[in-house]
């Protein structure tokens, strides 16, 4: 059993090493995109947020507020889209008898590590260059829980979307847009606790909202408004999504054809 | 050993969807060389991909005992931008082998030490095939799957291929899908005939070829074969 896990670990590591070389290696465009996209989203959200209110929604810095929710959420966005394409298509690596789960895990972990690197750079700039003290996480444990939740949520949703894309290939493109729409529903722009009950009742069911709230507690500490937070709902959602995704992958394996 | 139980497989989608394998049931033994003889388009390649586990059947199940190879010489997993050595290192790690030793073994078998540092995309086609075949033979599988011929090329590489094949068949099983009776005659211990997605015969090599010759597509394949043989021999000389 332990040797089987070891073996799977070796395969996942080998795929990651290869992806680093091919995606981030020869052309620097991979690196550029890894930073550029979340930064572009940060820019427009900060602009919208400025027009909504002159004061930062929480704390002193609008940038820290936006980044502390957006960058962890991006783990979900990137992981779910990467896993969707890994699960939906019969690429060359699959021809080498590499399993769906190995491929999906490798892509998911690499994407998460890349975003952690982006976060380290962004928050170092915010704290050292811009001088915002709150850019240092007060509760690193909560931030890590948030990142791991987004990683597994991304894998679960990615598997489900990947299986859907085996039937409707267009779904891959639709999902990569839809995943980014979740930015608007997850409390990245505004604090959901301060919004009307009607909004709160609906927002509660968006699992990403709970992950974003966890990340904010990671930065601002326990004083961050967290009445809406329900970690049981988040973890339950993740387990169910993973179960449905992996079961659907097995049930519809025959849909993978060249 | 690979057990195929009631397997049906469609290929394509929508109106061009076609049933390529019809309720195939067979047991491929864990030793010796088994040939699958069939005309072009009979479902051989699909069957090999199903046996490899690259694709899954729509109906039925496939059980594999031991490590089963990907189709011999498969190159879809190679990244064109990485060097040959980097690609081989990846293949080694995925299969739990030491990358350094593996690259050396492949270089030795293919005789293409000089191409190791080149990007895979820049290696000419025939040398690519030599690398891919060497790569497959250098991984110790329990069952090797072949779509085409287990021995390719000419001159020294053909000899290397042959000696590897003879060595591996002592301890591992081979399943060779081909439309060329000569390949069957040269390498196989037993054979089945695949026609229109169904296995219509299972037994000795000569009986399989005799039956194959009575099929309309079989005649054409045998006539075309003499020319193909010449081309194949001439490729790497």
Report the residue of chain B nearest A94, measured CA to CA: B54
Nearest to B81 among A11, A26, A257 (CB): A26
Closest CA to B91 of A18, A20, A25: A18
The answer to whether the CB atoms of B54 and A22 lie below 8 A apart is: no
Query: What pLDDT sits at residue A59?
Result: 86
The answer to whether the CB atoms of A14 and B81 lie below 8 A apart is: no
Q: Which residues of B touch A25 (CB under 8 A)?
A: 81
Nearest to A22 among B75, B81, B96 (CB): B81
CB-CB contact of A230 with A204 (8 Å): yes
| B150-209 tens-digit pLDDT | 999 888 999 999 999 999 999 999 999 999 999 999 999 999 999 999 999 999 999 999
The Cα A148–Cα A151 span in angstroms is 5
- Asked if residue B235 has pLDDT above 60, the reply is no
DSSP letter string, B179-220: S-HHHHHHH-SEEEEEETTEEEEEE-HHHHHHHHHHSHHHHH
Q: Which two tokens stand for residue A203?
A: 């927002």
Residue A26 contacts B where some CB pair is shorter than 8 Å: yes
pLDDT band at A26 (very low <50, low <70, confident <90, very high): low
| B123-157 tens-digit pLDDT | 998 899 999 999 999 999 999 999 999 999 888 99
| B78-92 tens-digit pLDDT | 988 889 999 999 999
Q: State the smallest CA–CA distance between residue A94 and chain B in angstroms.
A: 6
- Asked if residue B234 has pLDDT above 60, the reply is no
Report the residue of chain B nearest A169, measured CA to CA: B13
pLDDT band at B35 (very low <50, low <70, confident <90, very high): very high
Is the predicted ipTM greater than 0.90, yes or no?
no
The answer to whether the CB atoms of B70 and A21 lie below 8 A apart is: no
CB-CB contact of A78 with A181 (8 Å): no
Q: How far, CA to CA in Å, does B237 sit from each of A64, B126, B154, B234?
A: 67, 11, 5, 6
Mutation for B interface: A170, A254, A255, A256, most B CBs within 10 A: A254
Nearest to A10 among B10, B81, B96 (CB): B96
The answer to whether the CB atoms of B53 and A98 lie below 8 A apart is: no
Nearest to A254 among B13, B56, B68 (CB): B56
CA A155 to chain centre: 9
Paired with B144 in beta bridges are: B174
**Three-state secondary-structure class, residue A238:** helix
pLDDT band at B237 (very low <50, low <70, confident <90, very high): very low
The Cα A107–Cα A100 span in angstroms is 11
Q: State the smallest CA–CA distance between residue B77 and chain A in angstroms.
A: 4
Nearest to B94 among A22, A96, A254 (CB): A96
Query: What pLDDT sits at residue A131?
Result: 87
Give this prediction's pTM.
0.87
Q: Which two tokens stand for residue B196?
A: 């229109």
pLDDT band at B226 (very low <50, low <70, confident <90, very high): low
Interface of B with A (CB under 8 A): 9-13, 52-58, 68-71, 74-79, 81-82, 86, 90-91, 93-94, 96
Closest CA to B107 of B127, B81, B78: B127
Residue A253 contacts B where some CB pair is shorter than 8 Å: yes
**Three-state secondary-structure class, residue B166:** helix
The per-type count for chain B, helices as H runs and strands as E runs, is 8, 9
Mutation for B interface: A87, A95, A100, A168, most B CBs within 10 A: A95
Q: How far, CA to CA in Å, does B178 sit from each of A58, B101, B109, B158, B195?
A: 70, 32, 24, 18, 12
Q: How far, CA to CA in Å, does B138 sit from each of A177, A229, B113, B175?
A: 44, 55, 15, 17
Query: What pLDDT sits at residue B231?
Result: 46
Q: Which residues of B touch A7 (CB under 8 A)?
A: 96
Q: State the smallest CA–CA distance between residue B54 and chain A in angstroms.
A: 5
Q: Taking residues A160-182, what's their average pLDDT?
A: 93
């Amino acid at each position: 059993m332990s040797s089987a896990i070891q073996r799977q670990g070796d395969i996942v590591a080998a795929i990651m090493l290869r992806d680093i070389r091919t995606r981030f290696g020869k052309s620097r465009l991979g690196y550029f995109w890894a930073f550029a996209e979340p930064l572009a989203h940060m820019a427009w959200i900060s602009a919208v947020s400025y027009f909504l209110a002159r004061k930062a929604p929480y704390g002193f810095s609008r940038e820290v507020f936006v980044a502390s929710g957006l960058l962890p959420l991006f783990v979900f966005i990137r992981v779910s889209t990467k896993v969707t394409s890994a699960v939906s298509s019969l690429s060359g690596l699959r021809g080498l008898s590499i399993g769906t789960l190995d491929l999906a895990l490798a892509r998911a972990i690499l994407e998460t590590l890349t975003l952690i690197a982006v976060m380290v750079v962004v928050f170092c700039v915010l704290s050292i260059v811009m001088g915002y003290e709150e850019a240092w996480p007060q509760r690193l444990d909560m931030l890590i829980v948030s990142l791991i939740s987004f990683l597994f949520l991304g894998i679960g949703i990615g598997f489900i979307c990947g299986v859907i894309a085996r039937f409707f290939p267009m779904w891959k493109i639709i999902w990569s847009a839809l995943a980014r729409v979740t930015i608007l529903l997850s409390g990245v722009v505004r604090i959901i606790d301060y919004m009307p009950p009607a909004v709160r009742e609906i927002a509660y069911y968006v699992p990403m909202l709970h992950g974003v709230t966890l990340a904010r507690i990671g930065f601002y500490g326990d004083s961050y408004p967290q009445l809406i937070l329900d970690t049981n709902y988040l973890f339950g959602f993740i387990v169910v999504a993973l179960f449905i995704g992996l079961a659907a992958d097995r049930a519809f394996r025959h849909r993978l054809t060249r | 050993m690979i057990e195929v139980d009631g397997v049906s497989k469609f290929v394509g989608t929508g109106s061009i969807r076609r049933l390529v394998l019809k309720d195939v049931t067979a047991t491929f033994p864990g030793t010796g060389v088994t040939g699958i003889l069939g005309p072009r388009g009979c479902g051989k390649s699909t069957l090999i991909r199903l046996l490899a586990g690259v694709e899954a059947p729509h109906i039925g199940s496939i059980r594999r005992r031991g490590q089963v190879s990907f189709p011999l010489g498969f190159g879809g997993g190679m990244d064109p931008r990485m060097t040959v050595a980097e690609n081989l290192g990846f293949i080694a790690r995925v299969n739990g082998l030491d990358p350094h030793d593996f690259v050396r073994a492949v270089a030795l078998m293919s005789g293409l030490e000089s191409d190791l540092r080149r990007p895979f995309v820049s290696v000419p086609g025939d040398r690519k095939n030599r690398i891919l075949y060497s790569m497959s033979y250098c991984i110790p599988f329990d069952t090797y799957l072949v779509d085409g011929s287990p021995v390719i090329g000419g001159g020294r590489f053909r000899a290397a291929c042959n000696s590897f094949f003879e060595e591996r068949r002592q301890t591992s099983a081979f399943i060779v899908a081909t439309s060329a009776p000569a390949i069957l005659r040269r390498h196989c211990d037993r054979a089945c005939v695949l026609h229109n997605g169904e296995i219509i015969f299972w037994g000795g090599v000569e009986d399989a070829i005799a039956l194959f010759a009575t099929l309309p597509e079989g005649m054409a394949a045998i006539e075309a074969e003499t020319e193909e043989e010449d081309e194949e021999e001439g490729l790497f000389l």
